[in-house]
Chains A and B, each alone.
Chain A
C-alpha cells in the first residue's frame, strides 16, 4: 500500500487521466481491469470447453447419430459416414479437461477474484506489483492463444487425457495428438505456470504487506484467507508440474529416458531404458491434487462471504473455517497418490495415502456444516448469488461424499477410471467451483461494472443450472457403479457395458440443455454491462471494505484516505444495533449500543490503530 498510496497522493491523479486506451484497458496495471480481463477470458474459454463437451456427449449419448452437420466446423474430424473420428474424440476429452481445470477454474476463478477482491477487501490501492500482475495476465493470454491454436493443427490437439501420462504423450507414433499438439500443449502449460506463479506471488505479497490500518489477520474476510491459501498451494505445486513437463519435453525431443523404458512400438524397439512412467504420475499428481483445491478453495471463500451477507448473519465458526482451509491446504500436498492406487505402486503406499485421503474429509465436512449453521436462524435474502452459493454447498456435499468411497483403495479397485470418478469430480470440483465463480460474478458485478445484473434472468439461470447439473452428473454415478470405463469412444463392443444406452442419451440431452441455460448468463452479463440498472455503492448491505468505495472505484480504489478497520467482517444482525450490518470501518466507539463486553475494551486501542504510520520509503 505504502508506495502506491504515496504515488497516488502525489501525482497519480494526473497520470490517471493521461493513460490512453491501451494503458487503461489492454496493458493495464490496475488490478480491477486485470480481473475483468481474466473474467472475460475465462467466460470465453468456458464456452469453448462447454461446446467441446457437447460434441463428445453427442457421441456418447447417440453413438449412431449422423454428425455430418458438424462438418462445417470439424471438417475432416467427421468422416464420410458422419462419424466422429476416435482420435478427435480423445482430443476433445483432453482439451475439455485442460481448458476447464486450468483456463476456466484456475485462471478464470482465481485470476478474476483474487485480483479483484484482494486489494479491495484488505484496503490497498492496488496489488504489490502492478507490473507483475499485468505480466501474469499476458502470459496467460499467450498461453491461451497457443492452446487455442493447437485445436486447429492438422494432427489435432493433445489427445492423451488432461493428465498427459507418458509414454502415450511422449511418443508421436502412439497417437496423432502426441505430435505437434502435445508440443503446443506443453509450451502453453509452461507459460500458464509462469502466469500462475507471477499471480500467486503477487497475491501472497499483497495480503501480507498491504493490509490497511487495523486489518489484522483475524479481521480478514474468509475470501482473502481462501485466496491466500490458494496462492500458496499454487506457488508450491505448480513448479512441480513445470519440472514434470520439462522432463517430458526432454524425453520427447532430446532422447532422454525419464519416463520411458522397454518400449516396442511401430515395429521398433526404442533405445530408452530405465525410465518410469510412474514417476511422471507422481510429479503430475503432486500438482494435480493441490490443483483440485486451487479450484475449489476460492469458490468456498466467495461462498462464505455471500452466504454470511445474504443470511444477514455472521459466518458460523470463523476460526474453524480458517483452520479447516489451512488443514485442507496442508493435506492437499500429501494425498496425491490416491489417484494412483491401481498403477502398480507399492500397496503399502496405497494404505498410507488412503488414510491421509480420508482425513481430508473431516475439515471438508466441518466447512459444510458451518455453512448450514450459518443459514440456521438467518434472515435469508435469495439473490442469484445466494442461490448459486447454496447450490455450491449442495454439490460440494453430494460430490464430496462419493470421495469417501473413491479414497478407499479397496473400493477403488472396481471404480478407478470409471464414470463414478467422472461424476464425483464433476460435482465436487467442477460444478461446485463453477457455481462459486458464477455466484461471485452475480455478487460483485455491481462493484466491477457499476451496474446490476438482471435478477429474474439470474433466477432462471440458477434453476436451469442446478436442475441440469444434477440431471447430468447424478445418473453418471450409476453408469460408474456398473463399471463403464472413462474415455471410451463407445461401449457397445463389450457385453459388460452394453446397458444404459438410454441413460447415456438422457445425460447428453440434459448436458445440452444445461449448456443452453448458460447462454442466459452470457446474455445477462453482456447486457448488464451496457444497459444494466445503475448500482448503488453497497447494494447487498455488506460489511467488507470494497463496498465503502465509490460505485465505480477509480485508480487507487478510494478517492480519499483508505478506510481503517476496527472489527471483523461479519457483524450482521448484531443484537442492540438498529441496522442489521456494521461495516468493518465503523469503530466500536460509534456503536456502544451493540458492543460485546470484550469489544468495549477494544475502544481504547482504536487510537493506536489510527496512529499507525506506514513506512513510505519501501522501494517499489
Chain B
C-alpha cells in the first residue's frame, strides 16, 4: 500500500512539474502578441491522448484485478444465516454479470479512440443509425434485467415473508445512542404492551413498558447484549423512540430501519453460534455485532450492541437466569392495577413487595 501511495505521489509530482513549467511558459506569453489561433489543428498530442486512453485502461484492468484479489478476504463477512448465504450467492451472480459488461463496454470505449484516432487522410464513416443493432442492444439488457428481477423478487419475497409461528420474538429499540432489547419472558412468552408516554428514563422505564398489561410482568430487558438461539427463527420487533435508526447485523445480512411511531420487523435464522464462528474463523475473540445504519446524530458511529448466538439449550438456560424487569425495578408494582397486583407480586420478592402485599390485603379487608 505504501508503495502505491508512493507511486501515486510520484505521478502527481511529475504532473505538477509539467503544470508549473507550462504555467511559466504561459505567463511569459502574457505580454506577448496574441494571435487568433486555429486551435482545431490536430497535433501530435492527439496520438498521445489516444494511446493514453488505451494504456490507462490496460493499467486499470491490472489494478482492478489485483486490488480485487487483495481486498477480497474482507468482502461480505462470513454469512451466518441461510437467507444471507442466498443473497450473497445472488450478489456474486449479479457481480459476475456486471463485471462482464464492465470489461466489454470499457474495453470498446477505450480501444476505439486508439483505433479511430484522427487521420487527415481518412474520413469518418457516416453511420447515423441501424435499427437492427438498436433493437439487439435494447433487448439483451432487457432480458438480462428480467432474469435478475425474477430471481431477485423470489429471494426478496421469501426473506420478507411472515415469520413462522414458532419464531422467537425479541424486541429491539433504538435511541440516541444505544440499542436495547426486551424479551417476552419465560412464563407467558408474550411481550407486554408499551406506550411512549410511559417512558421515563429517570425512573428506569426507558422502554415505556405498560404495567397494566400482565404480559409485561415477566419481560426482561438488556442494554448490553442480545442473545438468540442457533437454528431457530428469530423475529425482531423493531422500534425507535427518538429519531430514525436502522438495525444492521452484518453477519446475518439483516437490516431494517427503526422508526418512531411505526414498528417494523425482520425475521431470520442464525445457523452458526458465536462459538461456531470463533472456531471457523480461528478467532477466539470473535463477536457478532449490531450497528446502526441510519444517521441518528453525534454518536451514530458508536451504537453497538453485542449479539450472542447460543446453542438452543444454552439459550433457554440463559433466559431462565434473567431477572424480569419488574424484579429489578420493584417500584413499578405501584403502576399495576389492583386486580393484577397479586400476579405482579410473584416477580417481586423484596420486603417492599411484602409491604405492598400487606397493604393490599388491608385494602381488601376494608
Chain A interface (Cβ within 8 Å of chain B)? 86-87, 90, 159-161, 165, 167-168, 171, 174-175, 260-265, 267, 269, 273-278, 311-320, 342-344, 347, 350-351, 354-355, 358-359, 361-362, 365-366, 368-373, 375-382, 387, 390, 393-394, 397-398, 401-402, 404-405, 408-411, 413-414, 416-418, 446, 452, 454-457, 459-460, 463-464, 466-467, 470-471, 474-475, 478, 481-483, 485-491, 493-497, 499-500, 502-503, 505-506, 509-510, 513, 516-517, 520, 523, 527, 531, 533-536, 539-541, 570, 572-575, 580
Contact in complex: B155, A410 (CB < 8 Å):
yes
Contact in complex: A541, B152 (CB < 8 Å):
no
Contact in complex: B138, A366 (CB < 8 Å):
yes
A380-B113, A404-B145 known; A347-B38 Cβ under 8 A:
no
- Which chain B residues lie closer than 8 Å to A315 at the CB level? 128
The residue in chain B whose Cβ has the minimal distance to the Cβ of A480 is: B75
Q: Which 3 A-B residue pairs are closest in the complex by CB-CB distance?
A: A261-B261, A344-B264, A347-B160
Which of the listed residues A372, A378, A486 has the most CB atoms from chain B within 10 Å of its own CB? A378
Within 8 Å of chain A (Cβ to Cβ): is B193? no
Interface size on B, residues (CB 8 A): 132
Q: For chain B residues 168-200, which have a beta carbon within 8 Å of chain A? A: 175-176, 196-197, 199-200
A277-B244, A372-B105, A482-B75 known; A351-B153 Cβ under 8 A:
yes
Q: For chain B residues 44-76, which have a beta carbon within 8 Å of chain A? A: 45-46, 49-50, 52-53, 56, 60, 63-64, 67-68, 71, 74-76
Q: For chain B residues 264-310, which have a beta carbon within 8 Å of chain A? A: 264, 285-287, 289, 291-302, 304
Selected contact of B243 from candidates A171, A527, A535, CB within 8 Å: A171
- Which chain B residues lie closer than 8 Å to A497 at the CB level? 250, 291
Selected contact of B300 from candidates A265, A416, A487, CB within 8 Å: A487
The residue in chain B whose Cβ has the minimal distance to the Cβ of A483 is: B250
Within 8 Å of chain A (Cβ to Cβ): is B133? yes
- Which chain A residues lie closer than 8 Å to B95 at the CB level? 405
- Which chain B residues lie closer than 8 Å to A317 at the CB level? 128-130, 134
- Which chain B residues lie closer than 8 Å to A502 at the CB level? 1
A167-B260, A411-B91 known; A381-B46 Cβ under 8 A:
yes
Alpha-carbon gap, A378 to B88, bound state (A): 42
Contact in complex: B75, A404 (CB < 8 Å):
no
Within 8 Å of chain A (Cβ to Cβ): is B355? no
Within 8 Å of chain A (Cβ to Cβ): is B125? yes
Alpha-carbon gap, A261 to B250, bound state (A): 29
15 A-B contact pairs sorted by A residue (CB < 8 Å) = A171-B243, A174-B242, A262-B260, A264-B241, A265-B243, A276-B261, A366-B134, A372-B112, A378-B124, A381-B46, A382-B50, A382-B113, A409-B156, A414-B87, A531-B34
Q: Nearest Cβ in chain A — how far from B301, in angstroms?
A: 4
- Which chain A residues lie closer than 8 Å to B248 at the CB level? 417, 483, 485
The residue in chain B whose Cβ has the minimal distance to the Cβ of A538 is: B40
Contact in complex: A493, B259 (CB < 8 Å):
no
Contact in complex: B156, A350 (CB < 8 Å):
yes
Q: Nearest Cβ in chain A — how far from B86, in angstroms?
A: 8
Alpha-carbon gap, A539 to B248, bound state (A): 56
Q: Nearest Cβ in chain B — how far from A28, in angstroms?
A: 27
Alpha-carbon gap, A543 to B340, bound state (A): 87
Q: Nearest Cβ in chain B — how far from A505, in angstroms?
A: 8
Contact in complex: A313, B126 (CB < 8 Å):
yes
Q: Nearest Cβ in chain B — how far from A44, in angstroms?
A: 22
Alpha-carbon gap, A474 to B64, bound state (A): 8
Alpha-carbon gap, A362 to B52, bound state (A): 30
Q: For chain B residues 9-38, which have a beta carbon within 8 Å of chain A? A: 9, 11-12, 15, 18-19, 22-23, 26, 29-30, 34-38
Q: Nearest Cβ in chain B — how far from A87, in angstroms?
A: 5
Q: Nearest Cβ in chain A — how far from B18, in angstroms?
A: 6
The residue in chain A whose Cβ has the minimal distance to the Cβ of B288 is: A496
Contact in complex: B134, A90 (CB < 8 Å):
no
- Which chain A residues lie closer than 8 Å to B176 at the CB level? 174, 265
Selected contact of A382 from candidates B49, B77, B200, B238, CB within 8 Å: B49
- Which chain A residues lie closer than 8 Å to B75 at the CB level? 478, 481-482
Q: For chain B residues 95-153, which have a beta carbon within 8 Å of chain A? A: 95, 97-98, 101-102, 105-106, 108-110, 112-113, 116-119, 122-130, 133-134, 137-138, 141-142, 145, 148-149, 152-153
Alpha-carbon gap, A482 to B91, bound state (A): 13
Alpha-carbon gap, A401 to B103, bound state (A): 11
Contact in complex: A175, B298 (CB < 8 Å):
yes
The residue in chain B whose Cβ has the minimal distance to the Cβ of A446 is: B39
The residue in chain B whose Cβ has the minimal distance to the Cβ of A263 is: B260
Contact in complex: B254, A413 (CB < 8 Å):
yes
Q: Nearest Cβ in chain B — how far from A202, in angstroms?
A: 32
Contact in complex: B262, A261 (CB < 8 Å):
yes
Alpha-carbon gap, A574 to B94, bound state (A): 42
Contact in complex: A414, B253 (CB < 8 Å):
yes
Alpha-carbon gap, A478 to B70, bound state (A): 10
Selected contact of A460 from candidates B18, B125, B148, B201, CB within 8 Å: B18
A377-B125, A494-B289 known; A541-B40 Cβ under 8 A:
yes
Q: Nearest Cβ in chain B — how far from A114, in angstroms?
A: 26
- Which chain B residues lie closer than 8 Å to A261 at the CB level? 260-262
Alpha-carbon gap, A90 to B75, bound state (A): 26
Within 8 Å of chain A (Cβ to Cβ): is B362? no
A404-B148, A485-B248, A539-B38 known; A478-B113 Cβ under 8 A:
no
Within 8 Å of chain A (Cβ to Cβ): is B5? yes
A273-B261, A411-B152, A539-B39 known; A342-B71 Cβ under 8 A:
no
The residue in chain A whose Cβ has the minimal distance to the Cβ of B206 is: A264
Alpha-carbon gap, A358 to B94, bound state (A): 12
The residue in chain B whose Cβ has the minimal distance to the Cβ of A382 is: B49
Selected contact of A580 from candidates B124, B241, B251, CB within 8 Å: B124
Alpha-carbon gap, A273 to B153, bound state (A): 35
Contact in complex: A495, B287 (CB < 8 Å):
yes
Within 8 Å of chain A (Cβ to Cβ): is B231? no
